[in-house]
Amino acid sequence: MSEQTAEGVRQRNLSRILRLVHLEGPLSRAALTESTGLNRSTIADLVAHLVRGGLVQELAPDRSRRVGRPSPVVAVDPRVLVISVNPEVDALTIAAVGLDRGIPIRERIDLEHLITPEETAALVAERIAAWRAGALADRRIVAVGLAVPGLVRAADGLVRNAPHLDWIDAPIRDLVAAATGLPTTVGNDASLGAIAEHLYGAARGIDNVVYLNGGASGIGGGLIVHGMPVGGAGGYAGEFGQNRPGIASDRDRRANSGVLEAEVSRARLLAVVARPSADEPTLAALLAATTLPDAIAELARQRGILATALANAVNVLNPSVVVLGGFLATIAERDLEGLTAAVGAHAMPASMEGLDIRVAVLAEDRLLIGAAEAAFADTLSDPQGSTAAQ
Amino acid sequence: MSEQTAEGVRQRNLSRILRLVHLEGPLSRAALTESTGLNRSTIADLVAHLVRGGLVQELAPDRSRRVGRPSPVVAVDPRVLVISVNPEVDALTIAAVGLDRGIPIRERIDLEHLITPEETAALVAERIAAWRAGALADRRIVAVGLAVPGLVRAADGLVRNAPHLDWIDAPIRDLVAAATGLPTTVGNDASLGAIAEHLYGAARGIDNVVYLNGGASGIGGGLIVHGMPVGGAGGYAGEFGQNRPGIASDRDRRANSGVLEAEVSRARLLAVVARPSADEPTLAALLAATTLPDAIAELARQRGILATALANAVNVLNPSVVVLGGFLATIAERDLEGLTAAVGAHAMPASMEGLDIRVAVLAEDRLLIGAAEAAFADTLSDPQGSTAAQ
DNA sequence: TGAATTTGACGTTCGGCGCAACAAATGTCT
DNA sequence: AGACATTTGTTGCGCCGAACGTCAAATTCA
């Protein structure tokens, strides 16, 4: 029952320091003292505590031609890892991600057929065992994080429905946790992408973010409010793809439903450039260079509908930054001013004042980083508890 | 620089206790011990601290036929007040609201012409002075809270635009603070209504809430995410009225813009019952009883469009509860199952599982309570600081 | 009336941070 | 090159605030 003071303050301060060096990179003890407002002696004690727990290292001071006694640099221990997993239709990506955001090892396993939850768990466990015996022999794997293209119930990591994987009510968290013996977190891929862009990408440090990602399977997204990811009651928040935005002219409507991801879709973009399929950079390059009137018109049509959907979100959430990823980035980049103006035409002027619509900057690592961040969450918020459990 | 421990823990615990008795009503010291997890002796000390600060009182134990020594009841000191102000087109409501949520005095001042920000400040100061000399002689007024029908910039309480009051960039917070000498908070009326419904109304204790209110001036709203009100970057969040929801059939469209509050509006409801104007209960009664086919059809039309707008919000935010106030409650109540089903038809099934669409329960006091809550915020989060400033 | 139960009151203990004095390491000035 | 200024690590001490244990008080129940 000593949660209010003894452990409470200690845990809080340990967490703050670990988060700082995790998010900002290596920092001198003097810098930690300044940015936490804690006393020098307290910082020394807390850092020593984290060092004993194997979470951070103290390195030789930086040669920085500053006057005064040099301050040791505190850096995260790169040997602390989580395993990030991203099952997709045609492949499963699995990687080890360090507390320093390094990715010492990564594999993309091509799949002949749709992978089942059980196969996923077995495959993850098998890879971890192999890595532990090899490349990651001296590392410490503390958790597993999965980014799943589907609805994930936050309470128990149950995949309610991942249509492209054909997973329905798959207890993937428990399966992976049982197979690996590691604490496991599961999240929606787009929501984890939003977290990654918030922490390290286009929306770094921004407290109010709307993130939309366009993928082959549709449009997903995530929100950051109060500087925290928004899950909602069940963890299903951020599903912009199923929204129905107003469509000004019937000529712009293609689908009966009026659902955003039926109107604004990768398939329709592929169609206008007459390609059966293409990977994301290829499609982006094609569309950026095209002079086909039909393609330009289709981009403009989709941009217009996207603008209304974004304006709706801006009116409700008043974010500082809207981040667009996947093919939505391609649609936006061709005319970012036009998109911003179109959003402004439908959103309230006051909400537009502080708004910046940006393109995502994290590349293919985005989901791995997002999943890793979710997996690290426990360690970051309770460094000593997670150390003891080691 | 002692914010992490000494004052920090103390302040936090004082705040928790004050919030508990403020939100839940009088509680015995034993109940506080249980629900905070703090030690009996610590609770005794903290309560004594709050008593010295004049924020709570200790009352005689409740006769509750429970075995054991009776525990003193801790209740908020009802003499601690804030002044709530709600300027509207035709009247200004001003009231004193206690920390116990009592409203010892309230006045509605009818206005011949639109009131200016300066007149508002003067009127508030004049009323406070009069009350201090009279009915509130032995009370302690700690702050002023305003609920304004318009966009309010959170940073400085500037009213950016309140179209119905004809206020543009009105520094109302500073005007009232200067006129009264009291700390002053300003908020959007619908956002404050959302807070009130969250703390004491239809969404009591719910962490993820979408609130929409239909008023004469349009549709406003507010969000609760992570159990906290959402302001967004500038404080303008919650403006559902300006959204453009998808409208399935062109026959259902009435306005060119497709803006929600142009389609779903009080004026259109008044029109179908052939009334030039009516207050809220009158309109609600008329519509609840009507058998006019045109009125029933118009209710259904507005209900359908509202459903799409709500479904969009549900997909993005995955709330546990949607609360509807004002004439939106009237639209909903006539067929709540139908509305819920219509939202379900456009929202993801998973997000519908935990969803409850409800009608607001707080009556005309809603805005006064919401504004009071905002005004009390400082005292609640830092009881000793606010005591010292007394 | 007495036993059981619950809680308040009080003195003590302990965890955790701030503080001050001193030592160490570096840049700067003459 | 050497003295000085500056910054920061180190160490011991003190204080704040909450927990704990013991005893007393107040109530219910048998």
pLDDT digits (tens, 9 = 90+) for B225-272: 999 999 999 999 999 999 999 998 888 899 888 999 999 999 999 999
pLDDT of A5 reads 66
Q: Which residues pair with A106 in a beta bridge?
A: A95
Q: How far apart are CA A8 and CA B274, in angstroms?
A: 63
Please tell me the distance from the alpha carbon of residue B200 to that of residue B191, in angstroms, as a whole number: 14
Q: Is the CB of B6 under 7 A from strand C?
A: yes
Please report the pLDDT score of residue B248 as a whole number: 84
Query: Mean pLDDT, to the nearest integer, of A182-192?
Result: 98
Range with top average pLDDT, A195-209, A278-292, B55-69, B244-258: A195-209
Tokens 């492209």 -> residue: A164
Nucleotide nearest the Cα atom of B30 (by C1'): C7
Give the residue on A whose Cα is nearest the Cα of B241.
Answer: A315
Under an 8 A CB cutoff, do B315 and A242 touch?
yes
What confidence tens digit (pLDDT) does each residue in A342-387 have?
Answer: 999 999 999 999 999 999 999 889 999 999 999 999 999 999 886 5
Rounded to whole angstroms, how far apart are CA atoms B150 and B89? 12
Name A243's Cβ contacts closer than 8 Å, sequence gap at least 6.
Answer: A259, A260, A309, A312, B246, B311, B312, B315, B316
Q: How many CB pairs under 8 A join A and B?
A: 168
Q: What is the mean pLDDT of the segment spanning A328-332? A: 97
Separation of first and last alpha carbons in chain A: 23
User: Could you read off the pLDDT of A270-295 as tens digits, one per residue?
Assistant: 999 999 988 999 999 999 999 999 99
Higher pLDDT, A4 or A120: A120
Per-residue model confidence (pLDDT) at position B330: 96
Confidence of residue A142 (pLDDT cuts 50, 70, 90): very high
Over residues B110-132, mean pLDDT: 97
Determine, for residues B316 and A348 on separate chains, whether the beta-carbon distance falls below 8 Å. Answer: no
> Backbone phi, then psi, for A170, in 5-degree steps?
-95, 120
- Distance CA(B52)–CA(B74), nearest Å, equals 13
Cα–Cα distance between B326 and B363 in angstroms, integer?
Answer: 9
Mean of pLDDT values over A182-197? 98
Whether the predicted pLDDT of B4 surpasses 70: no
A59 vs A70: CA distance, rounded Å: 11
Nearest CB partner across the interface for B350, out of A151, A308, A351: A151
Helix (H) or strand (E) segment spanning residue B147: strand B140-148
- What mean pLDDT is predicted for residues A17-43? 96
Confidence bin at A62 (pLDDT 50/70/90): confident
For position B47, what pLDDT does the model report? Answer: 96
Which pairing describes strands B356-359 and B184-188: parallel, antiparallel, or unpaired? unpaired
Query: Measured between alpha carbons, how far is A209 from A197 in angstroms, rounded to an integer?
Result: 9
pLDDT in tens, B325-378: 999 999 999 999 999 999 999 999 999 999 999 999 998 899 999 999 999 999
Helix (H, G, I), strand (E, B) or coil at A142: strand
- pLDDT over 60 (residue B200): yes
Contacts of B363 (CB under 8 A, 6+ apart): none
Cβ pair B316:A153 closer than 8 A: no
Question: Which residue of A45, A317, A343 to mutate against B (max B Cβ within 10 Å)?
Answer: A317
pLDDT in tens, A86-121: 999 999 999 999 999 999 999 999 999 999 999 999
User: A211: nearest CA in chain B?
Assistant: B316
CA of residue A104 relative to chain centroid, distance: 19
For B297-335, how does the pLDDT look when each residue is reduced to its tens digit (9 = 90+)?
Answer: 999 999 999 999 999 999 999 999 999 999 999 999 999
Considering Cα of B334, then B337, then B341, then B347, what sign does the dihedral take?
positive
CA atoms within 13 A on the CB side of B288: 13
Residue B7 belongs to what H/E stretch? helix B6-24
**From A50-64, A196-210, B194-208, the region with the lowest mean pLDDT:** A50-64
Look at residue B2 in the predicted model and tell me its pLDDT. 44
Nearest nucleic acid nucleotide to B384, CA to C1' distance: D17
Number of other residues whose CB lies within 10 A of the CB of residue B62:
14
pLDDT at B387 over 60: no
Q: Give, in degrees to the nearest 5, the angle at Cα A257 between A255 and A259.
A: 90
Amino acid letter, A177: A
| Structure tokens belonging to residue B98 | 């206690």
A235 contacts in chain B (CB < 8 Å): 318
| pLDDT for B3 | 58
Of A73-77, B76-80, B286-290, the one with minimum mean pLDDT is B286-290
Rg (CA), chain B: 23
d(C-alpha A210, C-alpha A320), whole Å: 8
Summary mean pLDDT of chain A: 94
Coil vs helix vs strand at B100 = coil
